[in-house]
Amino acid sequence: AQSVAQPEDQVNVAEGNPLTVKCTYSVSGNPYLFWYVQYPNRGLQFLLKYITGDNLVKGSYGFEAEFNKSQTSFHLKKPSALVSDSALYFCAVRRGSGGYNKLIFGAGTRLAVHP
Amino acid sequence: KAGVTQTPRYLIKTRGQQVTLSCSPISGHRSVSWYQQTPGQGLQFLFEYFSETQRNKGNFPGRFSGRQFSNSRSEMNVSTLELGDSALYLCASSPSLAGGFADTQYFGPGTRLTVL
């Protein structure tokens, strides 16, 4: 069975500091991994994905994520946080084959960036 | 390109009624997926449609159904509404070329359904 864990309900960061939002996954076969962000009363916005290749993936708005196969992790990072980054972040996994477009989401991590 | 659109944005229904939600995918996208988002259960996959056929289904009761039209627009229907069906219903579209394994799903703003 596929699953995603986001161990932190909330992450607090001061503006200008680096941020990390953690994600670990469990899936049979090769994983396809995604990060989405959700602002209040909005849908999900795509940030980045890992399919294959380089373990460091760069995405929108200065975000990046590092895929670590041995630790089954896909942590989201940003070198310098902005107050406008405050939102709900979701990690998601899809099985590499046969899973079509069924995404399994983590519970979400609320990021609060303080001025 | 215009993004994924969903109508209506807000709905209020009473228990026992039925409801139909609509989703228009990004132009050229052939796959449409539906998700339910609630505070208690988080984001859960409902079903996916591709070329007017349901090709994947989540673990929801038969009261939840959907369909896709030849222009890739999709509708989902919930019959005999229950209080627990109150949620944000999100639609996502993707190109789904060559099987679509590397596809990115792009989400609409959602329909907020409240069941009283």
pLDDT tens across A7-46, in order?
999 999 999 999 999 999 998 888 899 999 999 878 899 9
pLDDT digits (tens, 9 = 90+) for B41-66: 999 999 999 989 998 889 999 999 99
Give the whole-angstrom CA distance, residue A96 versus residue A33: 9
Residue type, B31: S
- Chain B neighbors of A51, CB-CB under 8 A: 102
Residue type, B70: S
CB pair distance less than 8 Å for B100 and A100: yes
CB pair distance less than 8 Å for A105 and B103: no
Nearest-CB residue to B43 (from A42, A51, A90): A90
Residue type, A63: F
DSSP per residue over B22-90, as a string?
EEEPPTT--EEEEEEEETTTEEEEEEEEETTEEEEE-S--TTEEEEE-TTS-EEEEE-S--GGG-EEEE
